[in-house]
Amino acid sequence: MSQDYYESHRGEWQWQDGDYTVTRTTAWSGPGCHDGCGVLYYTKNGKLEKVEGDPDNPFNQGTLCMRCLEMPEFVNNPARLGHPMKRVGERGENKWERITWEEALDIVEEKVRAIWADYGPESIVCHIGTGRNNCDQIPYLCYAAFGSPNFSMGYLAGDSCFCPRSASMASQNGDFMIADCSQQFEKRYDESTGWRCPEVIVNWGCNAVVSNSDNFYGGWIVDCMQRGSKMITVDPSLTWLAARSEYWLRVRPGTDAALAMAMLNVIISEDLYDHDFVECWCYGFDELAERVSDWTPERAAEVCWVDAEDIVGAARMYAEASPAAIQWGLKLDQTTNATATACAVNSLWVVTGNVDNPGGNIIIRNAFDQNLSYGYGYHLLSPEVQAKRLGAEFPLMSRAGYSSSAHADSVLQAIETGEPYPIRMVWMTSTNPIANMGADAPRIYRALKGVDFVVVNDLFMTPTAVAFADLVLPAAMSPERNSQRCWWVPNRTLTKVTQYEECVSDDDLVTMVGKRLHPENFPWDDNIGWINHIFEYETNDKLPYKSFEEAQKAVWSYPEFQYLKHEKGLLRPDGQPGFNTPSGRIELYNTNLMLWGYDPLPDFKEPSCSPVSNPELAEKYPLVLTTGARSFEFFHSEHRQAGTVSRELHPDPLFEMSAKSAAEHGLSEGDWAWIENQRGRCRQKLHVNPSLDDRVVRAEHGWWFPETEGAEPNLFGVFDSNINNLTPQCENGDTGFGAPYANQLCRVYRCTEENSEVLPGEQVTKHGGYSKVIDESNGDVKVGAIYG
Amino acid sequence: MTVNALLIDYEFCTGCHACEVACKKHLGLPQGQFGIKLLQDGPRELPGGGWEYNYLPMPTSLCDMCASRLDEGKDAACVHHCPAHAMRFGPADEIAAAAAEKGRRAMFVPTV
């Protein structure tokens, strides 16, 4: 074998390899997720030809998932948007005229100035997909260029993607906490850092190896398993990790809080908790113990459809391990009980003393104090404008500041009702809400049709763009952008290696728009100037580089990390030991929640549409529906383009039932069936999943079919297989956080010619959708209003 | 001449398709063709409790053992990218010895 190729280029950020230029950098959305893995881009004559994992990058250590490996198929895809376009037909006709960037910016400026004059800046709303571009550019556009406080995720009901867990952690601990798989160290699994491999890892409410969610690369769990970690998995389906777990708790969707409280009950009643930690560092342990005292394993077993012995066994195994880590996920957010659920799980790692210890759940902050994200530029708004942010009815989010975005459901209601003020313009970057993320997609369709001016800035012509956009602006993909980011650690950069047509990076687009409207907030010329500004003004002086030119060569930089920061006085502004909470302790009795009028202790609330809470509805819709399980092939609604490896491996939308349930419904593997409830229906293809409870159905999200007709009524088939025809908007927890995406009821029946005459696309675009009867009290559909 | 082999630790293969796609990209294979193909067994409940649920990527006749990558001093594309670090490539005798170190491992010798 010749000399090790990667070894020979160690320390270089760019080199020539025959006709190729090889560039060492990182990648994040879009396309793909927001993890920021290290990549080697191979370009030839300015075209991206192939992508390899960077073996020197500690984050992914040379490995890559299939989505980055197939990135050239998307970067060089002829279906990409390449030029600004304005609508020439009616909305939904998919007729466009190419215009110049100058013309596009003229249109935006004219509309914004007119709205400012006639309504006020708050009548402009900006959205991104959850975590897109990670995540500060479009928030800055909203606040610093448009002067509006109304940035939010594209109709993500209840902000139910990490935001509920974030708020619970912030209020309870004063900080974020994450499972310690050594990701904070450049030396990774080398224990000279003080890191220890968790004895037990609990993977709860996310299939980590598929989703790579929340800046956590799922392969790290497998790395830890190979170093001895034992697993506990909480999931309605037997995931691959569940099959390798000592305990698989097959929880009924939406009942995780009951399970967590029963585990707390076992740990406290069997005296398995960490007395020293509780004594020294916790507030409200007795109240928590009292609250969980009647949550016996037997009671939770009945609620959660899990065996009581398994709850006991898992609780003991977790509590007796030292250290143990919990890696949790999105499904804990996707219930109206999200805040309490997250507090309950957070309490598990607290009472067992797995707090900022090696191999437990560590306290993590953004590298080099660079705290941009959804709040970047918000301080530029006057208090009067900030007070107009939609969602003020939820004081924990708004007044206490535990949300850094407007409340998506409240934005939708403002569009629908004009209250508290009308919404006249919606700007959407890399978000496709009627394909993904927006619950009750037909309702969003009706609402957005009524907005005066809609800009869609995306990678491809999406159903959202066809249905609503007046202006479509082409977005650059990851290898076409210079950028940098912090999301915990490390700080890292994107280096631009290619250009597609006239696509513009988010950073440059925001700068171009901002310079026309509020030039004083944009004292830089381009994306590189903006990065340098962030390094100078938004980052502490421990960052080892001061310019993008230096940063792109370094590619990444890890800050120093210390364990047990609460013992060292490293968490509080006053430098005292303890946590950054009102009591200085971790608040098992959450005084922040109490202050704003909420229950300070975790509790379980039955989902509103369940066999228990609504037996009458369950007679018509007897199956419990959970949605949104991730696939290796897709990131949400991305990667659906025909001819790509993603669609080759995963051509159709799939839903799952147990073999027994499928047989009872007369269905076999591969049959197309309608999934239906009181809100609407969609069709997907059956995959028999022998591990499911017979009463549970799992369905995929994010489907559209770019190979089919874009114009209405088809809209790339976006409504036909859309599981969000069945989920509600504006049903949130009392905090405003959480929405029941993953705990609905449904029935399933085979697709036939007769029952498929009017497809959902036609129903939604031509016949007013599924829900003409609106309940004035909460804006939601009256249960049972659709099919009598 | 050294005979090379591929080691798969199917206790840890998550079924993520990265090897398939890395290989397709390296060999420039069209839709429907693979140099290594992911096989799946399960999930299936076992009579004594527990579940059988395994993935095993199997080299196809199109696998050229990444000859050109090895010439450049690189490792095999599938091995390089496996997010679970569940694959190894090397001389068959070394791989055979490694395969015997723990259970649930498979060794492939695509060509001799």
Could you tell me the pTM of the whole model? 0.97
Contact A633 B17 (CB under 8 A): yes
Please list the residues that pair with A200 across neighbouring strands.
Answer: A230, A324
Query: Which residue is closest to B11 within chain A, CA to CA?
Result: A244
Angle at A433 between CA A783 and CA A136, to 5 degrees: 130
Find the distance separating the first CA and the last CA of chain B, reported in whole Å.
9
User: E-strand spans in A217-308?
Assistant: 230-234, 247-249, 282-283
Largest Cα–Cα distance of chain B, in whole Å? 49
A5/B74 Cβ within 8 A: yes
Q: Are A341 and A605 in contact (CB under 8 A)?
A: no
Q: Report the pLDDT value the prediction gives residue A770, as an integer from 0 to 100.
A: 81
Chain A CB contacts of B45 under 8 Å are 690-691
* Contacts of A8 by beta carbon, 8 Å cutoff, 6+ apart: B73
Predicted local confidence at residue A782, as pLDDT: 43
Find chain B residues with C-beta within 8 A of A5's C-beta. Answer: 72-74
How many domains does chain A divide into? 4
Residue B93 main-chain phi, psi, to 5 deg: -70, -40
pLDDT tens across B42-65, in order?
Answer: 999 999 999 999 999 999 999 999
Set of chain A residues whose Cβ sits within 8 Å of the Cβ of B32: 648
CA distance A263 to A537: 45
- Whether the Cβ atoms of residue B76 and residue B90 lie closer than 8 Å to each other: no
Interval A335-369: pLDDT, tens? 999 999 999 999 999 999 999 999 999 999 999 99
Q: Could you tell me if A586 and A579 are in contact, meaning their C-beta atoms sit under 8 angstroms apart? A: yes
State which of A49, A75, A101 marks the end of a domain. A75
Do both A175 and A111 map to the same domain?
A: no
Interface check for A219 against chain B (CB to CB < 8 A): the answer is yes
Residue A448 contacts residue A465 (beta carbons within 8 Å): no
Pairing of strands A453-458, A471-474: parallel
Structure tokens at A776: 């004035």
Query: Is A342 among the domain residues?
Result: yes
Long-range contacts of A579-583 (CB under 8 A, 24+ apart): A579/A173, A579/A174, A579/A175, A579/A281, A580/A173, A580/A174, A580/A175, A581/A171, A581/A172, A581/A173, A581/A174, A581/A283, A583/A283
CB distance A365 to A241 below 8 Å = no
Q: Chain B partners of A20 at a C-beta cutoff of 8 Å?
A: none
B-chain residues near A7 (CB < 8 A): 73
Element (H, E) at A453: strand A453-458
Asked if the structure places residue A117 within a domain, the reply is yes
Structural domain contains residue A249: yes
Burial class of A523 by CB neighbour count within 10 A (0 to 12, 13 to 18, 19+) = exposed
Q: What pLDDT score was predicted for residue A773?
A: 41
Per-residue CA distances from A663 to A652, A667, A686, A742, B60 (Å): 21, 6, 11, 24, 36
Percentage above 70 pLDDT, chain A: 97
Q: What's the 3-state SS for A290-314?
A: HHHCCCCHHHHHHHHCCCHHHHHHH
Pair A55, A89 in one domain: no
Residues in chain B, overall count? 112
Check CB contact under 8 Å for A209 and B86.
no
Minimal CA separation from A438 to chain B, in Å: 27
* Residue B40: strand pairing partners: B55
Which residue carries 């850094």 as its tokens? A404
> What's the maximum distance between 2 C-alpha atoms anywhere in chain A?
73
- What is the distance, to the nearest Å, from the Cα of residue A428 to the centroid of all Cα atoms in its chain? 16
Considering CB atoms only, which of B16, B32, B73 is closest to A209?
A: B16
Q: Does B41 touch chain A (CB under 8 A)?
A: no
Q: Tell whether A122 and A212 lie within a shared domain.
A: no
For A111-154, write each residue's pLDDT tens digit. 999 999 999 999 999 999 988 888 999 999 999 999 999 999 98
How deeply is A682 buried, as exposed, middle or buried, from its count of CB atoms within 10 A (0-12, 13-18, 19+)?
buried
The verdict on A344 and A481 lying in the same domain is: no
Separation CA A225–CA A198 (nearest Å): 9
pLDDT digits (tens, 9 = 90+) for A699-717: 999 999 999 999 999 999 9
Q: CB–CB of B70/B80 below 8 Å?
A: no
* Overall average pLDDT of the A627-648 stretch: 97
- Cα(A24)–Cα(A623) distance, integer angstroms: 49
The per-residue pLDDT for A98 is 98
**A530 and A436 share a domain?**
yes
Q: Is A739 on the interface with B (CB under 8 A)?
A: no
**Contacts B14 to A, Cβ<8 Å:** 209-210, 218-219, 222, 240
A777 confidence band (pLDDT: 50, 70, 90): very low
Q: Is any Cβ of chain A less than 8 angstroms from the Cβ of B102?
A: no
- Chain B hits for A222, Cβ within 8 Å: 12, 14, 83-86
Query: Does residue A737 belong to any structural domain of this protein?
Result: no
pLDDT for position A771: 62
In a domain, A307, yes or no: yes
Q: Is B11 in Cβ contact with A690 (below 8 Å)?
A: no
Q: Give the chain A residue nearest B15 (alpha carbons).
A: A240
pLDDT in tens, A71-90: 999 999 999 999 999 999 99
**Interchain proximity B72–A633, CB inside 8 Å:** no
Give the pLDDT band (50/70/90) at residue A601: very high
Where b means 16+ CB within 10 Å and e means fewer, A707-716 reads eeebbbbbbb
With cut-offs at 50, 70 and 90, classify the pLDDT of residue B1: confident
pLDDT (tens digit, 9 = 90+) per residue, A524-549? 999 999 999 999 999 999 999 999 99
Kind of pairing between the strands at A672-676 and A681-688:
antiparallel
Which whole number is the average pLDDT over A518-522? 98
pLDDT in tens, A659-715: 999 999 999 999 999 999 999 999 999 999 999 999 999 999 999 999 999 999 999
Q: Which fold has domain B4-108?
A: Alpha-Beta Plaits (3.30.70)
| Beta-bridge partner residues of A483 | A494
Given an 8 Å threshold on Cβ–Cβ distance, is A222 in contact with B85?
yes
CB A504 within 8 A of CB A121: no
Q: Is A225 on the interface with B (CB under 8 A)?
A: yes
Does A649 reside within a domain? yes
Radius of gyration of chain A (CA): 25
Share of chain A above pLDDT 90, in %: 94
A205, A164 Cβ separation under 8 angstroms: no
Q: What is the pLDDT of residue A283?
A: 98
Label residue A213 by pLDDT band (50, 70, 90).
confident
Interface touch B21/A218, C-beta < 8 Å = no
**Rg over CA atoms, chain B:** 14
pLDDT exceeds cutoff 80 at A484: yes
The per-residue pLDDT for range A366-389, each reduced to its tens digit, is 999 999 999 999 999 999 999 999
* Residue B50 tokens, joined: 């527990």
CATH number at residue A301: 3.40.228.10
| Angle at CA of residue B16, ends B11 and B20, nearest 5° | 105
Interface contact B55, partner A, CB < 8 A:
yes
Q: Label residue A757 exposed, middle or buried (CB < 10 Å: 0-12, 13-18, 19+).
A: exposed
> Which of A106, A159, A154, A208 is closest to A333 using CA atoms?
A159
Helix (H) or strand (E) holding A682: strand A681-688
CA distance to partner chain B, nearest, from residue A1 (Å):
6
Residue A134 is predicted with a pLDDT of: 83
Return the percent helix, strand and coil in chain A, to nearest 5: 35, 15, 50
Alpha-carbon gap, residue A240 to A574, rounded angstroms: 46
* A268-297: average pLDDT: 98
Distance from the Cα of B93 to chain A's closest Cα (Å) equals: 16
**Among A2, A61, A63, A188, the residue to mutate for chain B (most B Cβ within 10 A):** A63
How far is CA A427 from each of CA A153, A412, A415, A431, B41, rounded to the nearest angstrom? Answer: 11, 14, 13, 10, 46
Q: Is A454 on the interface with B (CB under 8 A)?
A: no
Taking residue A286's Cβ as centre, other Cβ atoms within 10 Å add up to 10
Domain of A380, CATH number, reads 3.40.50.740
Banded pLDDT at A778 (limits 50, 70, 90): very low
Q: Are A86 and A470 in contact (CB under 8 A)?
A: yes
pLDDT of residue A112: 98
Query: Do residues A351 and A458 both lie within one domain?
Result: no
3-state DSSP of A49-89: EEEEECCCCCCCCCCCCHHHHCHHHHHCCCCECCCCEEECC
Tokens 């009591």 correspond to A583
* Minimal CA separation from A70 to chain B, in Å: 7
Tell whether A252 and A376 lie within a shared domain.
no
DSSP state of A781: B
Residue A159 CB partners (closer than 8 Å, separation 6+): A152, A153, A397, A403, A405, A407, A408, A736, A737
Measured between CB atoms, does B56 come within 8 Å of chain A? no
Instruction: Please give the span between the terminal C-alpha atoms of chain A, in angstroms, as a whole number.
Output: 72
A663: containing domain: 615-730+752-766
Nearest Cα of chain B lies from the Cα of A721 at a distance, in angstroms, of 24
Residues A589 and A543 in one domain: no
Residue A197 forms part of a structural domain = yes
For residue A8, the distance in angstroms to the closest alpha carbon of chain B comes to 9
Domain shared by A97 and A70, yes or no: no
Q: What is the CATH number of the domain that holds A686?
A: 2.40.40.20
Handedness of CA B16, B18, B19, B24 (dihedral sign): positive
Tokens in use for A665? Answer: 């419904």
Query: What distance in Å separates the CA atoms of residue A332 and residue A336, rounded to the nearest whole number?
Result: 10
B contact test, residue of A240, A250, A687 with most B CBs within 10 A:
A240
- In this structure, the answer to whether residues A509 and A627 fall within a common structural domain is no
Structure confidence at residue A263 (pLDDT): 99
Mean pLDDT of the residues in chain A: 95
- Judge if A540 and A650 occupy the same domain: no
What is the mean pLDDT of the segment spanning A578-585? 97
Same domain? A724 vs A684? yes
Which chain B residue is nearest to residue A55, measuring alpha carbons?
B80
Q: Which residues of chain A does B67 touch, with a Cβ-Cβ cutoff of 8 Å?
A: none
Q: List A688's β-bridge partners, or say none.
A: A657
pLDDT at residue A77 in the model: 98
Q: List the single residue in B20, B55, B73 with the smallest CB-CB distance to A1.
A: B73
Alpha-carbon distance A731 to A443, whole Å? 13
**A513 in any annotated domain:** yes
Average pLDDT over residues A414-442: 96
Whether residue A630 has pLDDT greater than 60: yes
Tell me whether residues B81 and A69 touch, CB distance under 8 A.
yes
| Cα–Cα dist A175/A166, whole Å | 8
